[in-house]
A = this chain, B = another copy of it.
Amino acid sequence: MTDRTEAPVARTVLQQCVRAKLQVRPAEEGAEARYVQIERGMVIYICFFKGATEEILPKMVSALLNIRLCESDSGKLVSVLELPGNLLIVPQATLGGKVKGRAMQYHANIGKEDGLRLYNGFTDLCEKEMKSAVATLEVQHGTYGNRQVLQLDTNGPYTHLMEF
């Protein structure tokens, strides 16, 4: 999917984890920070580009949940659905950056409002697909637009790039 000549509408980076913990609300006066956490599974960092629409979401979710990148106990590569593993989705607009001199520019990124709508659609669809496969699986996700304070514990991140 990375060999297409037209520009991608979404970019994801995938990492395997044994545990991952993400802040979903920073500490405020009178309220401690809130976190979500998953055990073994996959972390999806995601960014949408200009031109992305809801149409792409089913294809993305199907590809991401079914690609065989997770190492089973027997050492075989299986999908996160087959593992079965949990999912942590991290909004990551920085993934859309393009180098300009010594700085990164984000001109190709989708606008915030559309980005939030697509992000919500993506997380909802992931949750629906994961839960309908294995009801006990956890799908957690970060808060769009927030700083993604993250702790990741991996037995090998096996970092992959997938563009759509």
Q: How many copies does the complex hold?
A: 2
Give the residue of B147, B156, B160 whose beta carbon is less than 8 angstroms from that of A147: B156
**Residue numbers in B under 8 Å from A102 (CB-CB):** 66-68, 79
**Residue numbers in B under 8 Å from A149 (CB-CB):** 154-156
Contact at A156–B150, with CB atoms within 8 Å? yes
Contact at B157–A99, with CB atoms within 8 Å? no
User: Would you call A104 an interface residue if the criterion is a C-beta within 8 Å of the partner chain's C-beta atoms?
Assistant: yes
Besides A67-B104, A68-B102, A104-B160, 19 more A-B contacts (Cβ < 8 Å) are A1-B98, A3-B98, A11-B161, A13-B13, A13-B159, A66-B102, A67-B103, A92-B157, A95-B160, A147-B156, A148-B157, A149-B154, A149-B156, A150-B152, A150-B157, A151-B153, A151-B154, A152-B153, A161-B161
Q: A98-B2, A99-B1, A102-B68 are in contact. Are A92 and B159 (CB under 8 A)?
A: yes
User: Would you call A77 an interface residue if the criterion is a C-beta within 8 Å of the partner chain's C-beta atoms?
Assistant: yes
User: CB within 8 Å of B: which residues of A?
Assistant: 1-3, 11, 13, 45, 63, 66-69, 77, 79, 90, 92, 94-95, 97-99, 102-104, 147-162
**Residue numbers in B under 8 Å from A66 (CB-CB):** 102
A54→B97 CA distance, assembly (Å): 26
A6 to chain B, nearest CB (A): 12
Scoring A95, A103, A159 by chain B CB atoms within 10 A of each residue's CB, the highest score goes to A159
